[in-house]
């Protein structure tokens, strides 16, 4: 009987089902798709910002161009007006500067000297000069490049110089021939002073040749040359300091030629704007 009841219980028992709502869940997006979506949003933002900047920049550029165009027209007018007013004065000033700073070239002076000695101290050169003067032979001490040269004669060519060496040997005076020159020099003295210095070279060479060939010397040309007055202070000082040397021309032409040549070299090498090799 117990078995029947159990059976009845199982048959009459109705199973109860709780109907659960089935929730339809959307699938979650994957990580890669999320990143693509974010990148797309960033790209759109960047494109929008770039476009906005371009538009704003274009508008600003047009406004600035108009402003600068107005300023350029104003400044162009002012500069043109000013340059037209001041240009003639500037041109005249430049023209005067070029005239006052014109460069001139002096050619070299060269000859053959009779040298008695060369010393590093002037006292030794003076001592030897005294020995020559004791035999009625005068000389000129020429300082150059830290040395003191004693010259006792000068001629225009080497053959004449060698003949003179033999004359000094007869007096037991030791000498030898040396070619000597003053280099060409460029300077910015005036046209008149350039002409004077060129005339100096011409007359000096003529006097040298006349002395070498035992011809008459033209003293009047030297006097006329030194009667001129120079404009620059340094040039006039050279004339005043070298003019007394003219008296040696009639006493000892060789000493005159050496002294006036030395004075000339010292002067042209002392010019501040002079250049030479």
Q: Tell me the pLDDT of the chain (277 aa) as tens digits.
A: 444 444 444 444 444 444 444 444 445 555 445 545 555 555 566 566 666 666 776 676 665 656 655 444 444 444 444 333 333 333 333 333 344 568 899 999 999 999 999 999 999 999 999 999 999 999 999 999 999 999 999 999 999 999 999 999 999 999 999 999 999 999 888 999 999 999 999 999 999 999 999 999 999 999 999 999 998 899 999 999 999 999 999 999 999 999 999 999 999 999 856 554 5
- 208's enclosing H/E stretch is helix 191-212
What pLDDT score does 92 carry? Answer: 39
What pLDDT score does 207 carry? Answer: 98
Cβ-count burial 35-74 (b if 16+ within 10 Å, e if not): eeeeeeeeeeeeeeeeeeeeeeeeeeeeeeeeeeeeeeee
CATH architecture for segment(s) 104-270: 2-Layer Sandwich (3.30)
Cα–Cα distance list, 227 to 93, 205, 223 (Å): 33, 20, 6
Q: Which residues contact 238 (CB under 8 A, 6 or more apart)?
A: 263, 267
What pLDDT score does 66 carry? Answer: 60
Distance, in Å, from the CA atom of 194 to the CA atom of 200, rounded to the nearest integer, reads 10
Q: 176 forms bridges with which residues in the sheet?
A: 115
Domain ranges in the chain are: 104-270
Q: Would you call 58 helix, strand, or coil by DSSP? A: helix
Reported pTM: 0.64
Distance, in Å, from the CA atom of 79 to the CA atom of 74, rounded to the nearest integer, reads 9
What pLDDT score does 98 carry? Answer: 42
């Amino acid at each position: 009987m117990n078995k029947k009841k159990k059976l009845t219980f199982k048959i009459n028992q109705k199973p109860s089902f709780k109907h659960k709502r089935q929730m339809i869940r959307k699938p979650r997006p994957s990580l890669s798709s999320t990143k693509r979506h974010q990148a797309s949003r960033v790209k759109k933002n960047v494109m929008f910002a770039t476009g906005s900047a371009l538009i704003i920049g274009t508008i600003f550029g047009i406004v600035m161009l108009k402003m600068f165009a107005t300023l350029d027209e104003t400044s162009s007018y002012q500069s043109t007006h000013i340059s037209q007013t001041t240009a003639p004065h500037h041109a005249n000033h430049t023209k005067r500067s070029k005239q006052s700073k014109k460069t001139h070239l002096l050619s070299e002076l060269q000859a053959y000297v009779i040298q008695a000695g060369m010393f590093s101290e002037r006292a030794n050169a003076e001592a030897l000069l005294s020995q020559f003067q004791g035999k009625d032979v005068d000389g000129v001490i020429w300082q150059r490049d830290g040395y003191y040269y004693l010259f006792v004669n000068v001629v225009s060519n080497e053959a004449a110089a060698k003949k003179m060496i033999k004359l000094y040997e007869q007096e037991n005076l030791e000498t030898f021939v040396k070619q000597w020159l003053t280099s060409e020099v460029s300077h910015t003295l005036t046209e008149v002073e350039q002409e004077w210095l060129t005339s100096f070279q011409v007359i000096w060479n003529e006097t040298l040749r006349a002395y070498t060939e035992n011809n008459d010397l033209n003293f009047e040309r030297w006097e006329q040359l030194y009667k001129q007055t120079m404009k620059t202070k340094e040039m006039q000082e050279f004339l005043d300091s070298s003019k007394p040397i003219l008296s040696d021309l009639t006493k000892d032409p060789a000493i005159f030629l050496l002294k006036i040549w030395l004075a000339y070299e010292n002067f042209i090498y002392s010019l501040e704007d002079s250049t030479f090799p």
